[in-house]
Amino acid sequence: MRTLKFRSLFVASAVLLAGCQSGNVANAPGTPTAYKDPGTRGLVTGVGIESQDIITMTDKMMRDMMTTPGLVGRAPAPQVLIDATLFENQSSQRINKRLITTRLRGGLQRAAKGRMVFVSRRALDAILKERKLKRRGKVDVGTTGFTRAVAGVDYQLRGEIMDQTKQDPNTGAIERYNMINFEMLDMERGTIIWSGLYEFVKAGQNDAIYR
């Protein structure tokens, strides 16, 4: 009789423990991470510059540049510098400017197929170091041979990111006018040979946090 009582108590405890455990564990799959089309508005959207804006903007600018005879119709091909340091973020939002310049430079480089030559100044220290090593005979000449100097820049792409935000104090609704200006500057004559403007307004009840 005593053994039976003990056994019943044991079973009851086990059931209770199991009950506790199932109460704490949400045994269900979480929301799966999903790939999204970067050219389309995503799940989290605010009033700032987002992937779809960057893709549309850089695509538009690239195509516009590729149809500008002064830029792509020249022989020899112009030497162009596109660098994030030449882009000024005057807006109130956080944005990695390289998202714009890298996409633009990459797209143009693929599209131009030699009709524009792109100069890198980010790697200037590494380039100068390699040139020195070659000239001192520490390494061989490579296969492209020597040049008198590194490439100079004919045209430099400059840009500004600007915005104006307004918020309704009663409802909290927020609206932002974003404007991104691009200018291709002739580095000898100081003239602007091409310019492009991309602007849009976004409004919403809440803004997203951009990091």
Q: Which residues bind another protein (CB under 8 A)?
A: 39-41, 52, 55-56, 58-60, 62-64, 66-69, 72-73, 111, 200
Q: Where do we find the tokens 């500004």?
A: 160
Amino acid 100 reads I
* Cβ nearer to another protein, comparing 59 with 130: 59
Helix, strand, coil share of the chain (percent; to 5): 35, 25, 40
* Cβ nearer to another protein, comparing 61 with 81: 61
Displacement of CA 88 from its chain's centroid (Å): 15
| Residue 104 Cβ vs another protein, minimum distance, rounded to whole Å | 12
Separation between Cα atoms, residue 182 and residue 184, nearest integer Å: 7
Q: Where do we find the tokens 């944005």?
A: 95
Contact (CB, 8 A) for 183 and 58: no
Contact (CB, 8 A) for 145 and 167: no
* Cβ nearer to another protein, comparing 13 with 68: 68
| Residue 17 Cβ vs another protein, minimum distance, rounded to whole Å | 50
* Cβ nearer to another protein, comparing 51 with 131: 51
Residues whose CB is less than 8 angstroms from the CB of residue 200 and which lie 6 or more positions away in sequence, other chains included = 53, 177, 178
| Residue 56 Cβ vs another protein, minimum distance, rounded to whole Å | 5
* Cβ nearer to another protein, comparing 141 with 201: 201
* Cβ nearer to another protein, comparing 59 with 175: 59
Alpha-carbon torsion (48, 54, 57, 61), positive or negative: positive
Contact (CB, 8 A) for 55 and 40: no
| Residue 73 Cβ vs another protein, minimum distance, rounded to whole Å | 6
Burial of 175 (0-12, 13-18, 19+ CB in 10 A): middle
